[in-house]
Amino acid sequence: FTGTGNIYPNGLGSELIGDTSFDDPSYWNYAGGDTVIEDGYAKIDTDGTSDLTYIQKAGILTIGDYYLLTYTAATTPSGTGTIVLEDTWGTTTNIPLNNTPGTYQFQYRAGEEDFTLKRLGVTKRWLSSISLKKVL
């Protein structure tokens, strides 16, 4: 209970991402390499180390608050790079995501207002679902 009349199970707020299954390319900001949102996937794909490659939803976080990120890595990764969660709180500003196929969950503290997943190195990764909820 938050005092607002809303009850949040498991101490989590409501879903912050409006396109959790990557069906609406217009919902996301994305750029670089061959990165696209299509057919139910976020396809983060780059063959060069200088590409600024990312998917992003601007302005959905509160700096200093905690969030629970759940995502599904849909394909076996290729390349030597990885995908990272950008600009988290503290001395580690980028958190590498587990990219082997499966569903993963972790809690982190936001260091900026934008939710951004970006590539680090040459990589090809596909995500098939994502969820982001504020930890109350």
Residue 22's pLDDT is what?
Answer: 96
Q: Which residue has the higher pLDDT, 134 or 89?
A: 134
Q: Which amino acid is at 87?
A: D
pLDDT digits (tens, 9 = 90+) for 45-72: 887 666 678 999 999 999 999 999 999 9
Q: Is the pLDDT of residue 87 over 50?
A: yes
Q: Is the pLDDT of residue 2 over 70?
A: no
Q: Tell me the average pLDDT across 123-135.
A: 93
Largest separation between any pair of C-alpha atoms in the chain? 50
Confidence band for 120, pLDDT divided at 50, 70 and 90: confident
Residue 105's pLDDT is what?
Answer: 95
**How far is the C-alpha of 96 from the C-alpha of 74, rounded, in Å?**
16
**Contact predicate 59/113, CB 8 Å:** yes
pTM of the predicted model, to two decimals?
0.87
**How far is the C-alpha of 48 from the C-alpha of 34, rounded, in Å?**
11
pLDDT digits (tens, 9 = 90+) for 9-37: 678 999 999 999 999 999 999 988 788 99
Instruction: For residue 9, give the DSSP letter.
Output: G
How many CB atoms are located within 10 Å of the residue 112 CB?
A: 15
Q: Is the pLDDT of residue 3 over 60?
A: no
Residue 1's pLDDT is what?
Answer: 46
Q: Which residue has the higher pLDDT, 98 or 92?
A: 98
